[in-house]
């Protein structure tokens, strides 16, 4: 069978987000082929009126039911509750959504407040995760697939003004600024 | 001017934004300079009600003082490499994320959730011990966990830095005043290594003036100041 | 949303055969519309090279991974419950071994991250079991006899440094958690 068919089957049975590397390993196919197959599946599923959606969060992929059909889906599985977000949670999630993966000092430079407690709080709620990257000296943080699922977005790139706020000219300088002592 | 409620702002940048909005100004260094005094009036109450956030506010307070003192003390500032974005730029950026967070909140509360499915698990006939789940693996893992859980110094380092350095400066100025009745501010700054130290010296000087330990004289603006013991 | 989109979503999440009557009930749509939508979906999915198939068995309908990829899907699922543990899985198993019986919130406070998915995986692997604890109203987790036996131990006390680590002050402190006002 073709890569795309196998990929579709694996994403269907996986029941959780899968890392790109993991998918490549499972399919035992060249990275480029897997990448192309994922793009093809995105085209196949992610359109108006599709009942199945392919979510992309950084290097993770997950097949889910369309957020528009939340109520219908809840006939068959336990309803999840989003719960309110407090202002600090919301503000921190926003910066991580647009700028992740981001280190704690970078986040603090942008928000102007210590973010230790709020990061812990978001990690416990499963809305933020530490990136699995042993190369960087400082841990970096990014939002989880659960967060994306609850926003009803297919990818963070769909956030309003994503390109502008993601590659904001001051972010790079803000990141450098964290090395200064003021 | 209406007082802003202390619990109504998130941190120092949020307070600055609200003060600037209240004055109907747009974000600029002039606007920052205009709200600096108001900003400082919140620090005392903050110390009582939100001591854990004091360090964050002091960081911004130091930058506001720097902006204010820069025009007065330009001659005294050592050359230093630019250490990142200006406070005004940082504030503009912060405002954009605050605006964006309101839109994210709308999405979050829209009640749209994309559900994953749960594939019925495959039954494995007999127990399989994962190759990395032996007693030795557990031991090294718990040791790593304990290293991570080791309590860290609960006080933010910045607070300590600031309070120690201002206190040290005050002490050294008092020592100096014991020995001489009069000196120039520039002399004090001779050993200053960076902007922080200049600012801290300036703060210490203001503190001594407030205590009425000293008097400060400046003949022409932007000239050196003469410090006289009372 | 349209009938077909809703239908696609519920077949996706149901993970079991659904009776036609049940589908009609959930969708609250005319029988003929539902029938037409099912035929549309059959056309969409049931072709060569599709990774997902719509099975029709009498009056029952079910979405499944393509039988052509049965082996790939099964290998994937088996590896999930018998392969090497990921670092977060191993860490969770370690905490449950040394500190069990332990509740999920306590476990999450110690690890500092949400553990829902991981506990599910450890349960499936038969490494960990859930116990109703009447005192705390929350279930507690502890390792299984099977796991203990495969470690070659008679009791958890035989784990390296168990007595010292079992109630280590760092862990006890972490367990209580940070009561941040967030």
Place A2 in a pLDDT band, splitting at 50, 70 and 90.
Answer: confident
Nearest Cα residue in chain B from C90: B133
Interface check B3 vs C, CB under 8 A:
no
For chain C, how far is it from start to end, CA to CA, in angstroms? 37
Structure token digits, residue C52: 């997902």
Question: What is the pLDDT, as a whole number, of residue C124?
Answer: 92
Highest mean pLDDT of the ranges A72-81, B28-37, C126-135, C167-176: A72-81
Nearest Cα residue in chain C from B141: C91
Place A134 in a pLDDT band, splitting at 50, 70 and 90.
Answer: low
Would you call C77 and B150 a contact, using CB atoms and an 8 Å cutoff?
Answer: no
Whether the bond into C101 is cis, omega within 30 of 0? yes
Question: What is the pLDDT, as a whole number, of residue C178?
Answer: 54
Place B151 in a pLDDT band, splitting at 50, 70 and 90.
Answer: confident
**Proportion of chain A above pLDDT 70, given as a percent:** 88
Question: What is the pLDDT, as a whole number, of residue C94?
Answer: 96
Q: Which of C93, C99, C178 to mutate to test the interface with B (most CBs of B within 10 A)?
A: C93
**Which SS3 state, helix, strand or coil, does residue A174 take?**
helix
Residue among B94, B104, B114 minimizing CB distance to A65: B114
Nearest Cα residue in chain A from B66: A182
Look at C50 and B4; give whichever has higher pLDDT: C50
Phi, psi of A19 (to 5 degrees): -75, 145
Tell me what the mean pLDDT of segment C78-84 comes to. 92
Place B109 in a pLDDT band, splitting at 50, 70 and 90.
Answer: very high
Q: Which of B51, B114, B128 to mutate to test the interface with C (most CBs of C within 10 A)?
A: B128
In angstroms, the separation between the Cα of residue B46 and the nearest Cα of chain A is 14
Residue among C4, C72, C112 minimizing CB distance to A6: C72
Question: What is the pLDDT, as a whole number, of residue A80?
Answer: 92
Question: What is the pLDDT, as a whole number, of residue A98?
Answer: 96
For B106, counting Cβ atoms within 10 Å of its Cβ (0-12 exposed, 13-18 middle, 19+ buried), the class is exposed
Interface of A with B in 14-73 (CB under 8 A): 14-16, 53, 55, 62-68, 70, 73
> Which chain B residues are Cβ-neighbours of A114 within 8 angstroms?
52-53, 55-56, 156
Look at B187 and B3; give whichever has higher pLDDT: B187
Would you call A5 and C77 a contact, using CB atoms and an 8 Å cutoff?
Answer: no
Question: What is the pLDDT, as a whole number, of residue A55?
Answer: 98
> In the predicted model, is pLDDT for residue C33 greater than 80?
yes
> In the predicted model, is pLDDT for residue A30 greater than 90?
yes
Place B160 in a pLDDT band, splitting at 50, 70 and 90.
Answer: very low
> Which chain A residues are Cβ-neighbours of B53 within 8 angstroms?
113-114
Question: What is the pLDDT, as a whole number, of residue C182?
Answer: 44
Look at B204 and C114; give whichever has higher pLDDT: C114
> In the predicted model, is pLDDT for residue B36 greater than 90?
no
Would you call C170 and B146 a contact, using CB atoms and an 8 Å cutoff?
Answer: yes
> In the predicted model, is pLDDT for residue B60 greater than 90?
no
Question: What is the pLDDT, as a whole number, of residue B225?
Answer: 82
pLDDT tens-digit profile of A55-100? 999 999 999 999 999 999 999 999 999 889 999 999 999 999 999 8
Nearest Cα residue in chain C from B149: C170
Instruction: Write the CA distances from B75 to B69, B70, B169, C165, integer angstroms.
Output: 11, 9, 20, 60
How many C-alpha atoms does C181 have within 13 Å on its Cβ side? 5
Look at C44 and B42; give whichever has higher pLDDT: C44
Determine the number of helices (DSSP H) and then strands (DSSP E) in chain A: 10, 6
Question: What is the pLDDT, as a whole number, of residue A37?
Answer: 97
Tell me what the mean pLDDT of segment B149-167 comes to. 59
How many C-alpha atoms does A13 have within 13 Å on its Cβ side? 29
> In the predicted model, is pLDDT for residue C134 greater than 50?
yes
The pairing of strands A60-65 and A52-57 is: antiparallel
**CB atoms < 10 A from the CB of C149, how many?**
12
> In the predicted model, is pLDDT for residue A178 greater than 50?
no
Residue among B135, B136, B149 minimizing CB distance to C153: B135
How high does pLDDT run on average in chain B?
79
In angstroms, the separation between the Cα of residue B36 and the nearest Cα of chain C is 28
Q: Please state, in angstroms and rounded to a whole number, the distance separating the CA atoms of residues A97 and A165.
A: 10
Nearest Cα residue in chain B from C84: B130
pLDDT tens-digit profile of B71-82? 555 566 555 555
Interface check A82 vs B, CB under 8 A:
yes
Interface check A1 vs B, CB under 8 A:
no
Q: Please state, in angstroms and rounded to a whole number, the distance separating the CA atoms of residues B69 and C122.
A: 61
Please tell me which chains touch C, using 3 or more CB pairs under 8 Å as the contact test. A, B
Phi, psi of B209 (to 5 degrees): -65, -40
Question: What is the pLDDT, as a whole number, of residue A59?
Answer: 94
**Proportion of chain C above pLDDT 70, given as a percent:** 96
How high does pLDDT run on average in chain A?
89
> Which chain C residues are Cβ-neighbours of A13 within 8 angstroms?
65, 73, 76-77
In angstroms, the separation between the Cα of residue B181 and the nearest Cα of chain A is 33
pLDDT tens-digit profile of C65-75? 999 999 999 99
Please tell me which chains touch A, using 3 or more CB pairs under 8 Å as the contact test. B, C
pTM, to two decimals: 0.83
Tell me what the mean pLDDT of segment B136-140 comes to. 94
pLDDT tens-digit profile of C46-63? 998 999 999 999 999 999
Look at C171 and C38; give whichever has higher pLDDT: C38
pLDDT tens-digit profile of B213-226? 788 887 777 678 88
DSSP state, residue A29: -
Report the complex ipTM: 0.90
In angstroms, the separation between the Cα of residue A98 and the nearest Cα of chain C is 21
Tell me what the mean pLDDT of segment A19-31 comes to. 95
Question: What is the pLDDT, as a whole number, of residue C120?
Answer: 93
**Which SS3 state, helix, strand or coil, does residue A63 take?**
strand
In angstroms, the separation between the Cα of residue B113 and the nearest Cα of chain C is 12
> In the predicted model, is pLDDT for residue A179 greater than 50?
no
Phi, psi of B124 (to 5 degrees): -95, 135
Residue among C12, C83, C173 minimizing CB distance to B130: C83
Tell me what the mean pLDDT of segment B84-102 comes to. 90
Interface check C113 vs B, CB under 8 A:
no
In angstroms, the separation between the Cα of residue B57 and the nearest Cα of chain C is 18
Q: Please state, in angstroms and rounded to a whole number, the distance separating the CA atoms of residues C159 and C94.
A: 10
Would you call B137 and C161 a contact, using CB atoms and an 8 Å cutoff?
Answer: no
């Amino acid at each position: 069978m073709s890569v795309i068919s196998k990929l579709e089957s694996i994403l269907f049975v996986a029941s959780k987000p899968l890392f790109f590397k993991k998918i490549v390993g499972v399919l035992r196919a060249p990275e480029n082929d897997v990448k192309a197959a994922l793009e093809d599946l995105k085209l196949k599923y992610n359109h108006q009126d599709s009942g199945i959606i392919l979510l992309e969060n950084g290097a993770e992929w997950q097949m889910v039911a369309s957020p528009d059909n939340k109520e219908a889906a809840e006939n068959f599985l336990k309803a999840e509750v989003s719960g309110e977000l407090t202002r600090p949670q919301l503000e921190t999630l926003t910066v991580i959504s647009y700028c992740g993966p981001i280190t704690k000092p970078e986040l603090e430079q942008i928000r102007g407040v210590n973010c230790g407690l709020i990061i812990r709080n978001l990690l416990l709620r499963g809305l933020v995760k530490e990136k699995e990257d042993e190369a960087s000296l400082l841990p970096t943080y990014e939002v989880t697939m659960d967060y994306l699922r609850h926003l009803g977005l297919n990818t963070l790139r769909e956030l309003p003004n994503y390109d502008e706020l993601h590659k904001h000219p001051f972010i790079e300088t803000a990141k450098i600024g964290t090395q200064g002592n003021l | 001017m209406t007082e802003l409620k202390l619990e109504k702002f998130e941190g120092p940048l949020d307070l600055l934004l609200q003060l600037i909005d209240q004055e109907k100004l747009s974000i600029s260094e002039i606007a920052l300079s205009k709200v600096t005094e108001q900003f400082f009036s919140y620090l005392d109450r903050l110390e009582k009600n939100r001591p854990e956030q004091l360090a964050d506010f002091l960081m911004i307070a130091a930058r506001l003082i720097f902006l204010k003192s820069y025009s007065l003390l330009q001659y005294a500032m050592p050359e230093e490499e630019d250490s990142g974005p200006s406070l005004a730029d940082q504030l503009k950026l912060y405002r954009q994320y605050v605006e964006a967070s309101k839109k994210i909140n709308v999405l979050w509360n829209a009640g749209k959730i994309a559900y994953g499915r749960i594939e019925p698990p495959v039954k494995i006939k007999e127990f399989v011990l994962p190759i990395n789940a032996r007693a030795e693996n557990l031991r090294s893992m718990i040791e790593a966990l304990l290293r991570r859980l080791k309590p860290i110094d609960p006080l933010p380092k910045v607070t300590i830095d600031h309070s120690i350095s201002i206190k040290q400066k005050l002490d050294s100025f008092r020592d100096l005043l014991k020995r001489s009745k009069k000196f120039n501010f520039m002399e004090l700054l001779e050993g200053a290594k960076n902007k922080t130290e200049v600012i801290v010296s300036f703060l210490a000087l203001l503190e001594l003036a407030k205590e009425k330990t000293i008097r400060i004289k400046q003949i022409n603006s932007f000239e050196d100041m003469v410090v006289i013991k009372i």
